[in-house]
Chain A
């Protein structure tokens, strides 16, 4: 059979962000694939050296629009550790509340995009409609739907009254019913399963060799979650389960993300009902003492790591960011091997791409 090269270029209905693939097909099956990143490379690491720590909190929030809060959380966590600042427990709990809300919003977004790529537009509409509940909660808390600017070095700048907390608990109840309905579809609907079962399977051995993180790793049997394994406060005081599956295919990844959403709703309830009293932030100094720190957190897509080195001034000497999407992208050539052209969309979106995160 003859070979044909199909470019899935920077502008493509399948991709929300620019990323170039070049797939070589023999008949209907992919035999080779090549990937070109760099369309969204903004040089954030170099830009961060010219901005103060306070400005960098806002800069790093814009690494990615979907997981913006976790980036500023990891950055602030690292700078607070360097400065020896103790964030008050109420601030930590409010930070974690937004982290979990963001996890739910990111997974619902992904579910909609994945369903759209399968051809199941109904799930896209339902998932994004339910996502509006989360965006409303985040907007009432922080003033922004997508970009919250809640973190400051030393804590958070928002607070919660008991009445507002009851409103949020009511909204979470509605959300939970909707998520359970979507979970029912994913588990039982045969057309959904037919398009995602046994597609893009990764074995545990491949996961370990490529150091894959996040739901992609948990869907292949690797039980790793920094919220439980590190743990970083306040998750050391919260109870939750980490869902793990063993099939390793696109369906297992969908299921892991859905179950994580259910756990996140429980976590949000726990955080709201056990919220400690007190201040929400500690006062931070402009200059950070010299030193270096490696800060990690569990983003919706996996482990995000920041290395921060400070030289005693009010600007960082070096900030290095590695986002989970970059780690998971390395598995794409393996996953795309020998699959049919119709399944390419399922595989590419199953990794939960956030190219803005990967390119920085």
Chain B
């Protein structure tokens, strides 16, 4: 289907607006202690309630825009992490949540650890903290959405 350039540009702007206003996230823990995961789940609960910002936590990679990873990459979970990333439709972004997924954290040097998420995937946003606070996660996601513009 060919559309005239102004219509295509308008469609593109509408799609970009929708992408920024309601980013759907998928969470994968590739080997972490669970601390960052429970702070992420806290975002869905009444105190932080990110659904009012348009963020929904999705179950399937095919529905998600942003992949939120926590935990260092272990040898066993590396293949699954790559596969999830490949299953997500473009455009997609990767956020590395917590010190372990940024660099390996306290587990650096472990015999089963490959390092942070950036050893395996291209990361768009790093959120530090051990574990990262819910406010930091919201801030990180907001900055990522600014970047997408």
A and B touching (Cβ–Cβ under 8 A): yes
A129-B33 contact, Cβ under 8 Å, with A41-B74, A146-B38: no
Number of interface residues of A (CB under 8 A): 39
Q: Is the CB of B113 within 8 A of A42?
A: yes
From 36 to 60 in chain B, residues with beta carbon under 8 angstroms from any chain A beta carbon are 36-39, 41-42, 45-47, 59
Residue of B31, B37, B105 touching A16 (CB-CB under 8 A):
B37
B residues near A147, Cβ cutoff 8 Å: 35, 130-131
Give 28 pairs: A residue, B residue, CB < 8 Å, sorted on A: A16-B29, A16-B37, A16-B38, A17-B29, A17-B37, A18-B28, A39-B30, A39-B74, A40-B29, A40-B32, A41-B31, A41-B74, A41-B76, A42-B74, A42-B107, A42-B113, A46-B110, A47-B109, A47-B110, A58-B106, A62-B33, A64-B34, A65-B34, A128-B42, A132-B42, A146-B38, A354-B34, A356-B32
A: which residues have CB within 8 A of B? 9-13, 16-18, 38-44, 46-47, 50, 58-59, 62-66, 68, 109, 112, 124-125, 128-129, 131-132, 145-147, 354, 356
Which residue of chain A has the shortest Cβ distance to B29 in the bound complex? Answer: A17
Q: How far is the CB of B110 from chain A (nearest CB, A)?
A: 4
Residue of A58, A112, A129 touching B47 (CB-CB under 8 A):
A129
Complex Cα spacing A40 to B29, Å: 9
Complex Cα spacing A63 to B71, Å: 12
Known: A41-B31, A62-B107; 12 extra A-B contacts, CB below 8 A, are A11-B80, A18-B77, A42-B72, A43-B113, A47-B109, A47-B110, A65-B32, A66-B34, A68-B35, A124-B45, A131-B45, A356-B33
Q: How far is the CB of A14 from chain B (nearest CB, A)?
A: 9
Q: How many cross-chain pairs have Cβ atoms below 8 Å apart between A and B?
A: 115
B residues near A356, Cβ cutoff 8 Å: 32-34
A residues near B106, Cβ cutoff 8 Å: 58-59, 62
Which residue of chain A has the shortest Cβ distance to B49 in the bound complex? Answer: A125
Residue of B31, B33, B47, B59 touching A13 (CB-CB under 8 A):
B59
Interface check B11, CB cutoff 8 A:
no
Interface check B84, CB cutoff 8 A:
yes
From 67 to 92 in chain B, residues with beta carbon under 8 angstroms from any chain A beta carbon are 71-72, 74, 76-77, 80, 84
Q: Is the CB of A146 within 8 A of B71?
A: no
Q: Is the CB of A125 within 8 A of B35?
A: no
Q: How far is the CB of A130 from chain B (nearest CB, A)?
A: 10
